[in-house]
Structure 1
Amino acid sequence: MSGVLRYDRGTLLLVGTPAPPALPSVFRWDARVEAWRAPAYRYFEVASELRGQLQANRAPQYRRLALDYTPPYALHPHQREALAAWKQNRGRGLVELPTGAGKTALGLLALSWAGRSALVVVPTRVLMHQWYAELRSAFPDLPVGLIGDGEHEVFDLAVATYDSAAIHAEGLGNRYGCLILDEVHHLPTDFYSPIATYSLAPYRLGLTASLERSDGRQELLYEYVGPLVYRKEAAELKGSVLADYRIEEVRVALSPSERAAYRQALEVRNAFVQAQGIDLGTLAGWAEFVRRSSRSESGRRAMRAHREAARIATAAPAKLRALEVILTRHSGQKTLIFTKENDLAYQVSQAFLLPCITHQTPIKERQALLEGFASGRYLAIVSSNVMNEGINLPDAAVAVNLSGSAVEREFIQRLGRVLRRSGDKRAVLYEIFTEATREQRASLQRRGLERPAHPVSPLPSRPLSWEDLGEG
């Protein structure tokens, strides 16, 4: 076979060849340019199948790098096992590890082993600068680029936010042979997916505390990044790698008047749902409820009732009374209080005179509050989701879940805020919910007590060789 393989705006283009029988099935004829086109993320299988048959392979523009990273501490067994599993799967796959279990070191070891230009993708600017510092320390002889936060430095080693990597996905797609996707559960959206699908990187590592997404789109990660090759849960690492911890369930009750209002709201919602034949127990059913509720006054009334029921359960005054007991019990210990809603976060802040961080908090103010917490000026902070990921507060010992979603990842992330080892710290997470409401089941779901399993995939017998791609 003759022909030249090129990279073209997030795809592979095979030009100068007719349709040979051995052409990989992922190619489709593009009459506009009279060439064969395939998704860029299928590069590994394309290059492997066409090895030795091409006139030239001009698709990859990444470089071979001499990387040699040695962690400043002895690796824990789970880190060695995770790295070995990823290597055995030819440098492609997903790893689930709790916060504080050394995912960053694993990523550095992976890109060092890959030995090619590498892009690390993270969800926040805070994490971008943390990874930048880690890369500078691990590879002091190489420049490290930033892509995001006003910077666009496309170096052989670079860190990008998901937003910036998605915006520039077409231009970055053939520049990197290794993708490290931190907090990879962010990836499977219409906006972020091109980071992976427009990339021809043969090596891909996705890191997360939990793959689960409320929309079920985590299944796309298996195609775009690779199978789940390794998992450890916090309970398996507590007292050794992570701080010892316990979880305490705190049930509170609605008052008689609150209970009556809650039931009335549910009756209004359920009447509409039943009349429409909608099953709210599924993602598709919830999407259908949202769609149909906007089409009629009865539907809009049902949605308002649904939100009112949620508000009654979430903002029950009994929760604040329980929180007061907890804060008194742990007086002098650093405490993180989590909510799902801004309104509840502000309510707690005003009731207990605590600093509050939400998505509306300016960056400089947010940083000042976190620094105040780290220094001991503030002993407690309340936040609505902002502190779920991307912060490092090793001496926080107490976490309180006042409200949240049913997604297990949220619980794992919040627990992870207090799991980093610091001396002989014993951490505790309080799970407060209003019993006999939807909150009770959501609490069970986010704690992993009602969840489907994501199995670890069987691994191939032989790791990836660069000779497989004709790049050796």
Structure 2
Amino acid sequence: MNGTGACIARKDKTVLLECGHPGFGAAGMELADYAELVKSLPAYHTYRITPLSLWNAAAGGMTAEQIIASLRRLARWGVPAGLEEEIGRLVTRYGRLTLHAGTADSRLVLLRADSPALLDELAGLAGLDALQLRRTGELECACPAVSRGLLKQELTRLGYPVLDYAGYREGQGLSLAWTGVGLEETGGNPGTFGLRPYQQEAVRLFYGMGGSGVVVLPCGAGKTVVGLAVIEKLQCETLILTSNTTSVEQWREELLQRTSLQSGEIGEYTGERREVRPVTLATYQMLTHRRSKEEDFVHMSLFNERNWGLIIYDEVHLLPAPVFRATADIQATRRLGLTATLIREDGREGDVFSLIGPRCYELPWRSLEKQGWIAAVECVELVVPMDSALRSRYLYAGGKEQFRLAAGNPSKAEAAAGIIAEHAGARVLVIGQYLDQLEALAACLDAPLITGKTPQRERNRLYEAFNEGALNVLVVSKVANFAVNLPDASVAIEVSGAYGSRQEEAQRLGRILRPKQGENRAYFYTLVTGDSREQEFALRRRLFLTEQGYEYAVRTAGPQEEALL
């Protein structure tokens, strides 16, 4: 107990961080290492310490003693004894179970424990019997190698994380080198290529973990380059899975521009092409395609089409459930997850942890901003009023319809036009959820619209016109949430979103994070209808960005006072 700390630690594993405390910012960054922000209110932010947050901290090298010492520094009235004990119990579980290749039989993997009592404890847990886990010694059990992924998944769910030392296949070799043509400068000579320091560290830590893990970096920080660097280090054939066709094209462009690979060595496995080559790019949508709910997934065999030495899961937070199931079967292949946030709105972060790997590297967004690698962003929530007609409809609507009415508030068009006028000459993205709203906005703003129905060729033409400055305003649906390379976009206006999706808010802000010429600043506006259910969801949407240190200035449409949240 220090009497002046910024936090109140509670026995239920929640931590309250006082927003008005002088140490608020530093304390929030420290808590983010081992806790998750779950509520953001004006007076206090609420963090929750979970088994997964502690195991990811442990994977990064933190000990229970370090976590408890951190809490003791931050907690105004001390750390409840029960909480210290719980942290110690959970953190020390990480590393007690390890998985190894079968010594005499390659069809088996061996689960080893640091004490007989731990294996005795596991024997009484429901859910492991179906995996044919069989005791073979005082400190060892055997399991069929085909159940390697399912075993890790189930043990994580039961609260017993496993360190996987069972090894990986090398995969088919691939000769790949960096090239110096048209690559960004990194402090060296023009036209030369070098990884940024944090990218080098991410690759080092992934490789040091043995071959499975997740790298967490904000949009615009060069996650794709980290993926290329891992391929270059491993020199093996690679399957790259990503979120959409636009992303496939961007990966292909990066591979051709930054490496010695030739066009014929890179395959695209999408709705338009079925190419399987030494480096193959595919979409999650393609992998999960099936003709009916009763039939098998048509293209899941891609996982076994070649002797892959590495699988890269781009935007791993979007990984569909069927791909989790396929991933459980290929645990002998190295796996790299890339993402801007580990948050999954379906709550399956534990499956990412067990099947792709633990978080092996993460760098806070604000740290990258201070180093100039991403733009400094000002976040503003603009509260837009309802007119009397909309208010009358809203009052008599049901819950879901109330949110839909508030999100589609026609007054947002005028507010968006005002923001665009305020940033005259800037490249502006107007992003929303509902097609009718976006069509009306595009007409009002006299700007082109990109949706899921827009042909890929037309999307590319509009993106190129935007990047070249021929277009200053582009209205986009959620298809632009991911993997859209618009480096000069400096203003984003979010007019509607998917309820309280923290993941979506982070991705949308990420559209404007690439470094800018001059002052290196960008602006993120989210338009929210006042006195409506949309405001409740807006609080949840910004949780992840609040955890990263972003503050939202709240303004009312029109000349009003500002407040910080």
Q: Is the 8 A contact 2:240 2:281 kept in 1?
A: yes
- More off after superposition, 194-203 vs 124-133: 194-203
Q: Deviations over 1:1-59 (max 9, x none)?
A: 765649xxxxxxxxxxxx993795432xxxxxxxx85356879x99966x9xxxxxxx9
Kindly indicate whether structure 1 or structure 2 has the higher relative contact order, using CA contacts under 8 Å at least 6 residues apart: 1
1:21 is matched with which residue: 136, 145, 148?
Answer: 136
Deviation at 1:68, TM superposition (A): 4.3
SS at match of 1:153: coil
Aligned to 1:464: none
Distance in 1 (alpha carbons) for counterparts of 2:177 and 2:318? 29
Distance in 2 (alpha carbons) for counterparts of 1:203 and 1:221? 14
Q: Deviations over 1:197-243 (max 9, x none)?
A: 23244421111111222221232111110112222233222250012
Aligned to 1:416: 510
Aligned to 1:12: none
Q: Is the 8 A contact 2:147 2:329 kept in 1?
A: no
Aligned to 1:442: 537
Distance in 1 (alpha carbons) for counterparts of 2:410 and 2:302? 52
- More off after superposition, 156-165 vs 212-221: 156-165
2:246 is matched with which residue: 126, 150, 155?
Answer: 126
Matched, 1:237 2:375: no
One-letter amino acid of the counterpart of residue 226, structure 1: G
Q: Percent identity?
A: 30
Matched, 1:330 2:447: no
Deviation at 1:160, TM superposition (A): 1.8
Equivalences for residues 57-136 of structure 1 within 5 A: 62-69=171-178, 72-136=192-256
Matched, 1:207 2:338: yes
Unmatched runs of 5 consecutive residues or more in structure 2: 1-102, 109-133, 153-161, 184-191, 289-297, 549-565
2:501 is matched with which residue: 382, 390, 407?
Answer: 407
Q: Deviations over 1:338-362 (max 9, x none)?
A: 1111111011012222111111222
Q: Deviations over 1:293-329 (max 9, x none)?
A: xxxxxxxxxxxx2332122211223322211211111
Aligned to 2:391: 259
Matched, 1:311 2:404: yes
Unmatched runs of 5 consecutive residues or more in structure 1: 7-18, 28-35, 52-58, 266-304, 454-472
- More off after superposition, 70-79 vs 84-93: 70-79
Q: Deviations over 1:239-289 (max 9, x none)?
A: 500122211221122234533432332xxxxxxxxxxxxxxxxxxxxxxxx
Alpha carbons of structure 1 residues 199 and 138: separation in structure 2 relative to 1, 3 Å: farther
Matched, 1:346 2:439: yes
One-letter amino acid of the counterpart of residue 416, structure 1: G
One-letter amino acid of the counterpart of residue 536, structure 2: R
1:168 is matched with which residue: 299, 305, 324?
Answer: 299
Deviation at 1:66, TM superposition (A): 4.6
Q: Is the 8 A contact 1:60 1:200 kept in 2?
A: no
Aligned to 1:147: 269
Aligned residues: 384
Q: Deviations over 1:67-121 (max 9, x none)?
A: 4447843333322332232223222111221111010111111122233322111
One-letter amino acid of the counterpart of residue 351, structure 1: C
Aligned to 1:157: 279
Q: Is the 8 A contact 1:250 1:433 kept in 2?
A: yes
Aligned to 2:474: 381
SS at match of 1:397: strand
1:228 is matched with which residue: 348, 359, 373?
Answer: 359
One-letter amino acid of the counterpart of residue 210, structure 2: R
One-letter amino acid of the counterpart of residue 336, structure 1: L
Alpha carbons of structure 1 residues 92 and 4: separation in structure 2 relative to 1, 3 Å: closer
Distance in 2 (alpha carbons) for counterparts of 1:201 and 1:21? 22
SS at match of 1:206: strand
Aligned to 2:382: 250
Distance in 2 (alpha carbons) for counterparts of 1:229 and 1:247? 29
SS at match of 1:170: helix
Distance in 2 (alpha carbons) for counterparts of 1:198 and 1:152? 23
Distance in 2 (alpha carbons) for counterparts of 1:327 and 1:48? 54
Distance in 2 (alpha carbons) for counterparts of 1:435 and 1:358? 27
Distance in 1 (alpha carbons) for counterparts of 2:201 and 2:106? 39
Tell me the TM-score normalised to structure 1 length. Answer: 0.73
Alpha carbons of structure 1 residues 436 and 82: separation in structure 2 relative to 1, 3 Å: farther
Aligned to 1:456: none
Q: Is the 8 A contact 2:308 2:333 kept in 1?
A: no
Q: Is the 8 A contact 1:176 1:201 kept in 2?
A: no
State the superposition RMSD in angstroms. Answer: 3.1
Distance in 2 (alpha carbons) for counterparts of 1:46 and 1:82? 19
Q: Deviations over 1:392-450 (max 9, x none)?
A: 11111111011112212212211121121232142111121112322212222222269
Alpha carbons of structure 1 residues 89 and 100: separation in structure 2 relative to 1, 3 Å: same
Distance in 1 (alpha carbons) for counterparts of 2:366 and 2:340? 13
Alpha carbons of structure 1 residues 211 and 37: separation in structure 2 relative to 1, 3 Å: closer
Q: Is the 8 A contact 1:212 1:407 kept in 2?
A: no
Aligned to 1:357: 450
Matched, 1:395 2:527: no
Q: Is the 8 A contact 1:41 1:199 kept in 2?
A: no
Q: Deviations over 1:444-463 (max 9, x none)?
A: 2222269899xxxxxxxxxx
Distance in 1 (alpha carbons) for counterparts of 2:506 and 2:163? 38
Distance in 2 (alpha carbons) for counterparts of 1:446 and 1:86? 30
Q: Is the 8 A contact 1:67 1:115 kept in 2?
A: yes
Equivalences for residues 3-22 of structure 1 within 5 A: 5=107, 21=136
One-letter amino acid of the counterpart of residue 63, structure 1: Q
One-letter amino acid of the counterpart of residue 171, structure 2: Y
Distance in 2 (alpha carbons) for counterparts of 1:394 and 1:369? 14
One-letter amino acid of the counterpart of residue 523, structure 2: V
